Structure 1
């Protein structure tokens, strides 16, 4: 999950919190040069620059992202508007799990996100439908329960190792010359 992002449109994406949690140029200024992911979004949401994001700051950000995504300004996002709010991989701001998917997989992920947010099944997602997901997401980030998310409460990106054992490979033989016994699949 590479998003504080996912701030606050919602996932599970929820999901839309994430969609809306993508960087928005007008929300708190541009990220520092080269900064990406949760830290860059954190900086945009932390409007008073106190090192913490409150629910009020997060909700303002979600509303701004919603307004930007609502291209026809009717107060609801269609699945197409939601998809447009998630740039594809390689485009600026592509940071969510849906962004990393390609083709049909990306479309399927966005469809799941949309259906999860469209509580009344009317084909549009409103701010009222997004708010519970965004609040739940915010509470999930607020590890110490103080009502604010500090930078150290953001999820860490997993480290990717270039070296290591791939699936199905045996570890190098131990000093005694025998490889350890393989574990049974399970």
Structure 2
């Protein structure tokens, strides 16, 4: 092999590597909240990560049974004391720790990195990220298919500041029906709306200072 051939080999290798890169999906790298309120932050395509997770038999569609099973898997994560209800303290943990993007508890500023809570620098000085408020009360709606600013408490239909298994399952069934546009008993990728709740399938975001809507 001559020295003259080395640049050509390097060029061919670079071109092959570039061709091997996947074409980014429209949701690539974007924060996503599942219809039941589970955040996805770290996948190359967070919306696709949720779909692939819920589609347990990998046939390209999510049935009602799969949708409800995925909902109850997340319910088990939220039900930290395993009493079959997401109680007030667990709701607060969801709103403050798991999904601060809801903007429900505390009402303080959130930073520009998709709403992660602002922390100081440890010496009392202000962080570099600029605070951003949510005066419209949109919560997680910009990162979800449904216009539910706080998707977990929205399932609290008896207004007791807790969500039972039955309430969560009922909410899952209602949300599945909203997303199953052609009513064939399965959700496919092409049925899903654009992120941001743009088609307003669930409920309008509340006015500032109001609690999120129930379904």
Class of the TM-score when normalised by the shorter of the 2 chains: 0.5 to 0.7
Classify 1:112/1:45 alpha carbon distance in 2 versus 1 (closer, same or farther; 3 Å): closer
User: What is the CA distance between 1:123 and its match in structure 2?
Assistant: 2.6
Q: 1:87 to 1:60 in 2, by over 3 A?
A: farther
In 2, Cα distance between equivalents of 1:112 and 1:91: 15
Q: Is the 8 A contact 1:4 1:42 kept in 2?
A: no
Contact 1:23–1:41, Cα closer than 8 Å, also in 2 = yes
For these two proteins, the number of residue pairs brought into alignment is 130
Unpaired stretches in structure 2, ≥5 consecutive residues:
1-30, 102-111, 117-130, 141-148, 197-215
For 2:67, what is the secondary structure of its paired residue?
helix
Structure with larger Rg? 2
Higher relative contact order (Cα pairs below 8 Å, separated by 6+ residues): 1
Distance of 1:104 and 1:122 partners within structure 2: 25
Report the equivalent of 1:13.
none
In the superposition, relative to structure 1, how do residues 46 and 102 fare at CA in structure 2: closer, same or farther (>3 Å)? farther
Report whether the alignment pairs 1:121 with 2:159. Answer: yes
Distance 2:195 2:156 in 1: 29
| Cα deviation, residue 59, structure 1 | 0.7
Runs of 4+ more than 3 Å apart: 21-24, 87-93, 101-116
Please say if 1:22 is aligned against 2:39.
yes
Q: Return the alpha-carbon distance in structure 2 between the equivalents of residues 104 and 119 of structure 1.
A: 25
Q: For the Cα contact (< 8 Å) 1:4–1:154, is it kept in 2?
A: no
CA-CA distance at 1:147 after TM superposition: 0.1
TM-score, normalised by the number of residues in structure 2: 0.49
C-alpha RMSD over aligned residues: 3.7
SS at the partner of 2:62? strand
Q: Is the 8 A contact 2:32 2:40 kept in 1?
A: no
Q: Deviations over 1:41-78 (max 9, x none)?
A: 11110111000000111111100101111122222112
Unaligned runs of 5+ in 1: 7-16, 25-30, 94-100, 159-186
Does structure 1 retain, via aligned residues, the 8 Å contact 2:72–2:169?
A: no
Picking from 60, 64, 68, the partner of 1:55 is 64
